[in-house]
């Protein structure tokens, strides 16, 4: 399943090479295109609204409403929200936590998958099913014991607690993915290395990892973005302003009662911006991996 | 593995070492807490001191708790906005983009549109909540647009009015979910042999006929996967409700996850909250088992 879904993006591109010949070019096609364009504009309209109103002055908004183009670019709402929410801090926190989870999550997944996919240890199937069930169940069912443990060990309100929790949760999923990739890893390469006297540890790092690098990057990218978007556990674990992530800060924005509409637009835009940047960088990876991310 | 001498068992044992870090993590972070939560669901506990054993008391109360039943009904209603509507829109859109827009206007336009529909899906849900909270507020864009097109009478306090709040949150969820269905379905469509469509077209089948006769049956595995995964997700809806309505007004948008959170961290009825989480977990596992059985059957074929 995993390899099949990982390669989906490519097969979609390939199968289009030969368009059908002799198709009718009726004026009807413009009607269909117009319909789809109306739908896409409807979908993207909220993004546009956030953009337009985040750079509008409060006076302009009061006079011309949310639908007008700003008379002049005004960044005061953006700056105000940035400072109010200490957005630099939130960005640093989110990047730190997500990056650490990506690295440690991939590492854990790799070790597990090496034992399951290459080592074919007994009980592999049972292990994978337990891992999958473990991440499918709602986080509500583990959040309180985690919260209690974090308090007991002094890790409460530390980014480390969130990093540990998500490195493990994401790796459960990564193990499932990488195991099926490693399950079909060419045996001959490993046997050749073993004949040359490589230890298992050397096989992992000098044979498997170099071949697997692109896949590991994809998995790491997913871990990064999924962790970036996580809400419940960071909300519970990170109470102080200084430790919160962008996602948590956004979730608590409504409680702060931003009465100024341009501030709400600015908050939205700042929440959207990192995602758009990831999207532009990782577009292919993201749409390709959507099926494998389905069970999250 | 190919060579069959006696070293194989020791080799295997060596590999178990690599499972140790992952296993430790999983036991401490997932398995242990899951068991602890299950045990807590049979106790009365305020989060401090020692939990008091209460047998099935929490579960008995649950059966008579209107808030709990309300939240379960809302979950069923969220299946409409999480699963049914996005699947229907996703199917039509995927078929349109795949076998019409792409044919007529080219691959690039089609993938550009797909990316556009997918964008809400990767936004942090809390950000989507802030954005829509602003749009749907009494003085928000939704009402301003309605007034501008002469439908001012329809303007509502969308998320602040118990009559409309659930529908408003559902709208936001549909907006988020369509992209997911679309992308999975389009990936599935690339598997279908184009000659099937050509043959159908030669036989004079119209677009809708082809949709129901070819696309839907061929996409059955994808539809199944999407339906089950989004149903599991519907049971876990938390962030949109937390951000948009906090379960209100008047419990109109209360969902199990929010109720659990509320009892864990606000009323501190930890045992009771744990019981709700257990119910959620049992339903999820039942759905997940169906999903996994299906997956392994797919792999076998």
pLDDT digits (tens, 9 = 90+) for A45-102: 999 999 999 998 888 888 888 888 888 888 988 998 899 889 999 999 999 999 999 9
pTM: 0.87
Chain B residues within 8 A of A231 when measuring between CB atoms:
124-126, 238-239, 242
Residue A20 lies in a domain: no
Give which of A140, A146, A224, A226 to mutate to test B binding, by max B Cβ within 10 Å.
A140
Judge: B113–A36 Cβ closer than 8 Å, yes or no.
Answer: yes
A207 within 8 A of A189, measured Cβ to Cβ: yes
ipTM, two decimals, is: 0.88
Q: Residue B250 in contact with residue B42, Cβ under 8 Å?
A: no
Determine, yes or no, domain membership for A257. yes
Contact at 8 Å (CB) between B233 and B280?
A: no
Distances (CA, A) of B218 to A144, B185, B190: 43, 10, 11
Q: Residue A6 domain-assigned?
A: no
The answer on A289 and A244 residing in a single domain is yes
A2 within domain boundaries? no
Q: DSSP character for B43?
A: E
Residues A216 and A262 in one domain: yes
Rounded CA separation A34/B27 (Å): 54
Q: Are B55 and B42 in contact (CB under 8 A)?
A: yes
- The residue range of the domain holding A181 is 87-295
Question: In B203-269, which ranges are continuous DSSP H helix?
Answer: 207-210, 216-218, 220-234, 239-244, 256-265
- Who's near B49: CB < 8 A, 6+ residues apart? none
Residue A276: is its pLDDT beyond 50?
Answer: yes
First to last CA, chain B: 25
3-state secondary structure of B242: helix
Cα radius of gyration rounded to whole Å, chain A: 24
Residue B181 confidence class, pLDDT cut points 50, 70, 90: very high
By C-alpha distance, which of B128, B173, B86, B168 is closest to A47? B128
Average of per-residue pLDDT across B181-190: 88
pLDDT at residue B215, as a whole number = 86
- Residues 6 or more apart in contact with residue B89 via CB below 8 angstroms: B174, B178, B181, B182
Q: What is the mean pLDDT of residues B254-274?
A: 95
Q: Which whole number is the average pLDDT over A266-277?
A: 91
State pLDDT tens for residues A12-50. 333 443 444 445 556 777 888 888 999 999 999 999 999
- Report H helices in chain A: 2-6, 8-14, 28-54, 58-64, 76-84, 87-113, 124-136, 140-153, 159-183, 187-195, 200-202, 209-229, 232-237, 246-253, 261-288
Same domain, A70 and A102: no
Would you give the end-to-end CA distance of chain A in angstroms?
15
Chain A CB contacts of B257 below 8 Å: 138, 140, 232
Give CA–CA dist A133/A131, Å, rounded: 6
Distance CA B201, CA B268 (A): 63
Please check whether residues A65 and A35 belong to one and the same domain.
yes
Interface test with B, best of A26, A38, A46 (most B CBs within 10 A): A46
In sign, the C-alpha dihedral spanning B213, B215, B220, B224 is: negative
Interface of B with A in 9-28 (CB under 8 A): 11-12, 14-19, 21-22, 25-26, 28
Total number of domains in chain A: 2
Using CB atoms, pick whichever of A49, A225, A232 lies closest to residue B122. Answer: A225
Averaged pLDDT of chain B: 88
Average pLDDT over all residues of chain A: 84
In chain B, domain spans: 17-58, 60-129+166-300
In a domain, A101, yes or no: yes
Q: Band of the pLDDT at A287, cuts 50, 70, 90?
A: low
**A93 and A57 in a common domain:** no
A189 and A135 part of one domain: yes
At B238, the pLDDT band (50, 70, 90 cuts) reads very high
Same-domain check for residues A164 and A197: yes
CATH number at A101 reads 1.10.3720.10
Tell me, yes or no, whether A81 lies in a domain: no
Are B15 and A47 an interchain contact pair (Cβ–Cβ within 8 Å)? no
A17 is a domain residue: no
**pLDDT of B153 strictly over 90:** no
CATH superfamily of B60-129+166-300: MetI-like (1.10.3720.10)
Same domain (yes/no): A54, A105 = no
- Mapped onto helix, strand or coil, the DSSP state of residue B217 is helix
Chain position carrying tokens 């637009």: A265
Task: Report how far Cα B272 is from the mean position of its chain's Cα atoms.
Answer: 24
**Who contacts B205 (Cβ-Cβ below 8 Å, separation ≥6)?**
B213
Altogether, the residues listed in chain A come to a count of 296
- Would you say residue B27 has pLDDT above 90? yes
In the prediction, which pLDDT does B301 show? 64
3-state secondary structure at position B44: strand
Q: Is B17 helix (H, G, I), strand (E, B) or coil?
A: helix
Cβ atoms of residues B249 and B160 within 8 Å: yes
């Amino acid at each position: 399943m995993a390899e099949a879904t990982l390669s989906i993006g490519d097969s979609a591109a390939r199968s289009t090479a030969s368009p059908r010949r002799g198709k009718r070019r009726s004026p009807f096609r413009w009607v269909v295109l117009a319909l789809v364009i109306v739908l896409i504009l409807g979908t993207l309209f909220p993004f546009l609204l956030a953009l337009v109103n985040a750079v509008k002055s409060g006076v302009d908004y009061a006079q011309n409403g949310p639908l007008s183009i700003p008379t002049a670019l005004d960044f005061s709402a953006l700056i105000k929200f940035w400072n109010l929410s200490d957005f630099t801090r939130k960005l640093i926190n989110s990047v730190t936590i997500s990056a650490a989870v990506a690295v440690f999550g991939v590492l854990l997944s790799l070790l597990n998958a090496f034992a399951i996919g290459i080592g074919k240890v007994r009980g592999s199937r049972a292990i994978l099913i337990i891992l999958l069930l473990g991440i499918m169940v709602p986080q509500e069912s583990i959040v309180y014991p985690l919260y209690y443990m974090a308090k007991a060990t002094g890790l409460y309100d530390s980014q480390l607690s969130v990093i540990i929790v998500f490195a493990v949760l994401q790796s459960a999923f990564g193990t499932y993915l990488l195991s099926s990739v490693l399950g079909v890893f060419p045996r001959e390469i490993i046997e050749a290395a073993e004949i040359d006297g490589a230890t298992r540890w050397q096989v992992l790092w000098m044979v498997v990892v170099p071949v697997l690098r692109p896949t590991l990057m994809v998995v790491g990218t997913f871990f990064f973005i999924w962790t970036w978007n996580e809400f419940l556990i960071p909300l519970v674990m990170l109470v102080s302003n200084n430790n919160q992530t962008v996602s948590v800060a956004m979730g608590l924005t409504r409680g702060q009662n931003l009465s100024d509409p341009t501030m709400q637009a600015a908050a939205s835009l700042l929440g959207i911006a990192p995602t758009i940047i990831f999207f532009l960088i990782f577009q292919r990876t993201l749409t390709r991996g959507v099926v494998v991310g389905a069970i999250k | 593995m190919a060579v069959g001498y006696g070293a194989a068992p020791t080799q295997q044992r060596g590999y178990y070492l690599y499972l140790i870090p992952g296993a430790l993590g999983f036991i401490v972070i997932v398995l242990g807490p899951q068991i602890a939560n299950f045990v807590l669901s049979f106790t009365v506990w305020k989060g401090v001191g020692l939990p008091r054993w209460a047998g099935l008391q929490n579960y008995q109360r649950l059966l008579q708790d209107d808030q709990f039943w309300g939240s379960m009904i809302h979950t069923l209603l969220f299946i409409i906005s999480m699963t049914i509507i996005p699947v229907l829109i996703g199917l039509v859109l995927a078929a349109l983009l795949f076998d019409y827009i792409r044919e007529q206007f080219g691959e690039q336009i089609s993938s550009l549109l797909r990316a556009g529909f997918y964008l809400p899906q990767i936004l942090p849900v809390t950000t989507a909540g802030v954005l829509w909270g602003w749009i749907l507020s009494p003085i928000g864009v939704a009402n301003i647009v309605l007034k501008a097109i002469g439908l001012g009478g329809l303007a509502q306090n969308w998320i602040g009015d118990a009559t409309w709040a659930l529908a408003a949150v559902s709208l936001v969820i549909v907006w988020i979910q369509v992209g997911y269905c679309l992308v999975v379905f389009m990936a599935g469509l690339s598997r279908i042999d184009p000659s099937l469509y050509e043959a159908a077209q030669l036989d004079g089948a119209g677009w809708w006929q082809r949709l129901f006769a070819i696309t839907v049956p061929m996409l059955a595995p994808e539809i199944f996967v999407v339906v089950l995964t989004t149903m599991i997700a519907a049971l876990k809806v938390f962030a949109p409700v937390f951000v948009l309505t906090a379960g209100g007004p008047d419990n109109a948008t209360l969902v199990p996850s929010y109720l659990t959170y509320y009892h864990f961290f606000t009323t501190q009825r930890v045992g009771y909250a744990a019981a709700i989480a257990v119910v959620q977990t049992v339903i999820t596992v039942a759905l997940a088992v169906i999903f996994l059985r299906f997956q392994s059957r797919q792999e076998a074929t």
